[in-house]
Structure 1
């Protein structure tokens, strides 16, 4: 399954780059994230509730940043396992300056096994795209909240 998504942040690229890899910010913005821990530089483990139509499960995730070029690009490897199946995937996250903000493009390819693979492709694609969309909107909101708190002297 291929997922392609684009979002334009009203924030400078260096700011988006900084926060897109921040453990606390990610934990607060990944949809249905129960836990997220950075166990090593560029390596995260998480638990995420997944619901696609009638299918519901908790997935154990591993996310590894395999390549990166600050502040423009990272290649990420993803692996997840739940009772309904497993998935592996890779994603390229590309950040470009765009009219005073940042255009983020995500290109990913995911292989799914188990009961999830048997679900209708359209449901999976729609659910995955909606999850990416929700994540990016939440990420922008969380970054802006952090920047506001920093200006007020209440964070980091």
Structure 2
């Protein structure tokens, strides 16, 4: 599965960078995220569920950040497992481009693979669901950052 995307985030690039590396911000932005635990500056675990047709599998993912070029880019790798979801692996190259003092363009190119019952049954549905999750995440991420800025 391959995905690309670009999103306008209504925050300065440095704030977007900090938020993309903050598990608690990510927990708020990831739809149906139950847990986000930091293990180190480059590694955390996220537990979330997602809707795939009529089922809601849960996935526990170890997320690792590498090839860091702060505040411009990094590579995010994830490997997760769930009882129903099976095994999921993915990697995303994330680039932050400063559009102006208060706006950042976030671009990503991701690839992933899923093995297990769900992958066997519904490859097209998995791809559609992954794109919807990405869209929902970035919409919520922008809202979380906007609310943080209004609170300051």
Alignment partner, residue 113 of structure 1: 115
- Give the TM-score, by structure 1 length: 0.90
Which of 126, 130, 133 aligns to 1:131? It is 133
After the TM superposition, which residues 31-50 of structure 1 pair with which residues of structure 2 at under 5 Å, given as runs?
31-50=31-50
Cα offsets for 1:73-110 (capped at 9, x unmatched): 01011001001211111111111122551111111110
Name the structure 1 match of 2:104: 102
CA contact (8 A) 2:10 2:146 kept: no
Moved over 6 A (4+): none
CA distance in 1, matches of 2:136, 2:62: 20
Runs of 5+ in structure 1 lacking a partner? 151-156
Partner of residue 88, structure 1:
89
TM-score normalised according to structure 2 size:
0.92
Residues 63-74 of structure 1 mapped to structure 2, 5 A cutoff: 63-74=63-74
Paired with 1:36 and 1:130, the residues of 2 have a C-alpha distance of 21
What 5-or-longer segments of structure 2 have no aligned partner?
Answer: none
Pairwise CA RMSD of aligned residues?
1.3
Q: Is the 8 A contact 2:32 2:49 kept in 1?
A: yes
Structure 1 match to 2:17: 17
Greater alpha carbon shift after TM alignment, 80-89 vs 9-18: 9-18
Count of paired positions: 150
